[in-house]
């Protein structure tokens, strides 16, 4: 069943499927946003108080569709990468917020600098210029506490002493990630799709199952005049807009620019042959493992923490990152490590969550809760008295490092 939402004072449905639109339908807007993930949804909602007429084009719909997933298939050449693209990119309302882990933190200052050992590095702005905009995004991505608590300043916020033993900060610096949280369900991280549907501005229209296939330039190649989108049945529609914003992710943005070559032979913005050559990936791997039966100390040193703010509780994960000194001396990129806990299927907390969400289908979850009543009791004490995230039953425990 297609999603439909009536717009106040409008004569059109604000959420529609591309193939439902009549071929002669006028689709003319001031702003066209390609992609309804975190970036596209945030821009649309930021424009809610304006008179600008906005359209969001989403390649998928409200639910996952195999035919749409197939549009993300890749050919891998070189170092082997994950081929199941659903784990990385999601064509669906809300984009890749469907599969993200919810860990959030701003970049470090060094990430914006020109580094002599990295060709083409350096940005024309720094972290301080971005900070006001980062703070404006907090509500959209489900963060209740600001973006400045990624180092030892966190411990004052949490009203806790500095963990011991301390790190040698000439080599490794403390780092903390804040987990996003859904507004309605504190047991889940933020999923942008439901939030966008519930808060779609009256000046915006969301068109689903609309895969953009071409950006049309004017005759002189100076501006995008319109966008061509196709539905799964092959029907095409042209959307005209004064401003087009690409929010389809690093791979799809570059693909759209490169394949739009009717006027510019090498693709839009690609006269220097650089579009698509600077994809920032984040390879990661295990750098240390621990015995789960003897893991209390490492969990206490690098664990999860709760901080209460504005009547809600937010999770932080503690880890460490490579110091700028080492990056410069060794000619390295930034990287960070955290304690990755592989929770067992018979973990009682996971069983409680499944029952709470109505996903439990057997008596295994009840048995897991009964058999681990002592763990649940200790967890309640940890949560209320020590302000720690309760310990889970683990299948494995290791340090994960991401570059």
DSSP for 70-132 reads GGG-----SS-----GGGT---STTGGGGT---EE-PPPGGGGS--TTSTT---SS-HHHHHH
Residues 6+ away with beta carbon under 8 Å from 26: none
Which helix (H) or strand (E) is 317 found in, with range? strand 312-322
Under the banding of pLDDT at 50, 70 and 90, the label for residue 169 is very high
* pLDDT at position 399 over 90: yes
Distance CA 17, CA 6 (A): 14
- As given in the structure block, the two tokens for residue 139 are 């509500």
| pTM for this prediction | 0.86
Averaged over 33-40, what is the pLDDT?
97
Q: Does 159 have pLDDT greater than 70?
A: yes
Residue 125 makes CB contacts below 8 A (sequence gap 6+) with 112
The answer to whether the beta carbons of residues 388 and 304 sit under 8 Å apart is yes
Residue 39 in tokens: 């970036």
**Coil vs helix vs strand at 12:** coil
Band the pLDDT of 1: cuts 50, 70, 90. very low
Residue 370: predicted pLDDT? 74
Q: Is residue 221 over pLDDT 80?
A: yes
pLDDT tier, 8 (very low <50, low <70, confident <90, very high otherwise): very low
Partners of residue 399 on adjacent β-strands: 288, 339
Joined tokens for residue 381: 């004490």
Q: For residues 100 and 182, give the distance between their C-alpha atoms in angstroms, rounded to a whole number.
A: 13
* Rounded mean pLDDT, 17-36: 87
| Neighbour count for residue 179 (Cβ, 10 Å) | 17
Mean pLDDT of 180-203: 90
pLDDT at residue number 186: 75
**Superfamily, domain 15-100+191-259:** FAD/NAD(P)-binding domain (3.50.50.60)
Q: How confident is the model at residue 352 (pLDDT cuts 50, 70, 90)?
A: confident
**Is a pLDDT exceeding 50 seen at residue 379?**
yes
Residues 158-183 have a mean pLDDT of: 92
Tokens of 233: 């049945």
The rounded percent of the chain whose pLDDT value lies above 90 is: 61
Cis ω for the linkage preceding 90 (within 30 of 0): no
| 3-state secondary structure (DSSP) of residue 139 | helix
Mean pLDDT of 123-139: 93
Q: Return residue ranges of the chain for CATH 3.50.50.60.
A: 15-100+191-259
Do 58 and 206 touch, CB atoms closer than 8 A?
A: yes
Q: For 225-248, what is the mean pLDDT?
A: 94
Q: Are 180 and 142 in contact (CB under 8 A)?
A: yes
Q: Is residue 394 helix, strand or coil?
A: strand
324 band by pLDDT with thresholds 50, 70 and 90: very high
Q: Given this model, what pLDDT does residue 390 score? A: 66
pLDDT (mean) for 273-289 = 90
pLDDT over 70 at 166, yes or no: yes
Integer Cα distance of 54 and 172 in angstroms: 45
Mean of the per-residue pLDDT values of the chain: 88
Q: Over 70: is that where the pLDDT of 76 sits?
A: yes
Look at residue 381 in the predicted model and tell me its pLDDT.
66
If residue 318 lies in a helix (H) or strand (E), which one and from where to where? strand 312-322
Mean pLDDT of 88-111: 93
Amino acid 10: pLDDT? 45
Q: What percent of the chain has pLDDT over 70?
A: 90
Q: Which residue has the higher pLDDT, 349 or 149?
A: 149
- Provide the pLDDT for residue 304: 86
Distances, alpha carbon 162 to alpha carbons 33, 167, 228, 247, 381, in Å = 45, 10, 55, 40, 21
What number is the average pLDDT over the span 275-283? 86
Least confident of 2-11, 62-71, 155-164, 308-317: 2-11
pLDDT for the residue numbered 230: 94
Coil, strand or helix: which one is 177? strand
Q: Is the pLDDT of residue 346 over 70?
A: yes
């Amino acid at each position: 069943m297609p999603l439909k939402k009536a717009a106040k004072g409008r004569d059109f449905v604000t959420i529609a499927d591309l193939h439902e639109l009549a071929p002669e339908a006028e689709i003319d807007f001031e702003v066209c946003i390609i992609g309804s993930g975190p970036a596209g949804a945030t821009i649309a909602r930021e424009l809610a108080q304006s008179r600008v007429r906005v359209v969001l084009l989403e390649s998928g719909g409200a639910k996952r569709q195999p035919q749409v997933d197939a549009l993300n298939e890749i050919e891998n050449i070189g170092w082997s990468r994950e081929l199941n693209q659903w784990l990385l990119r999601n064509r669906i309302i809300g984009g890749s917020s469907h599969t993200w882990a919810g860990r959030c933190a701003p970049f470090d200052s060094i990430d914006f600098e020109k580094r002599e050992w990295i060709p083409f590095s350096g940005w024309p702005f720094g972290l301080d210029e971005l900070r006001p905009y980062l703070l404006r995004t907090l509500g959209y991505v489900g963060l209740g506490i600001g973006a400045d608590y990624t180092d030892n300043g966190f411990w004052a916020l949490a009203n806790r002493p500095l963990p011991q033993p301390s790190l040698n900060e000439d080599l490794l610096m403390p780092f903390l990630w804040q987990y996003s949280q859904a507004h309605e369900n504190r047991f889940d991280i933020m999923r942008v799709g439901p939030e966008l549907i519930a808060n779609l501005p009256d000046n915006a229209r969301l068109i689903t199952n609309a895969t953009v296939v071409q950006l049309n330039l004017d005759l002189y190649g100076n501006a995008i005049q319109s966008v061509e989108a196709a539905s799964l049945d092959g029907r095409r529609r042209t959307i005209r807009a004064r401003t087009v914003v690409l929010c389809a992710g690093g791979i799809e943005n570059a693909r759209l620019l490169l394949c739009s070559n009717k006027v510019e032979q090498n693709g839009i913005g690609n006269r220097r042959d650089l579009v698509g050559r600077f994809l920032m990936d984040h390879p990661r791997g295990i750098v240390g493992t621990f015995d789960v039966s003897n893991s209390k100390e490492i969990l206490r040193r690098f664990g999860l923490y709760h901080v209460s703010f504005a009547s809600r509780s937010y999770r932080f994960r503690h880890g460490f990152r490579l110091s700028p000194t080492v990056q410069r001396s060794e000619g390295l990129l930034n990287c960070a490590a955290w304690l990755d806990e592989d929770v067992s299927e018979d973990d009682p907390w996971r069983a409680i969550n499944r029952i709470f969400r109505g996903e439990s289908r057997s008596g295994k979850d009840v048995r897991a809760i009964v058999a681990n009543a002592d763990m649940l009791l200790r967890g309640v004490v940890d949560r209320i008295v020590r302000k720690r995230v309760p310990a889970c039953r683990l299948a494995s425990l290791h340090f994960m490092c991401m570059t």
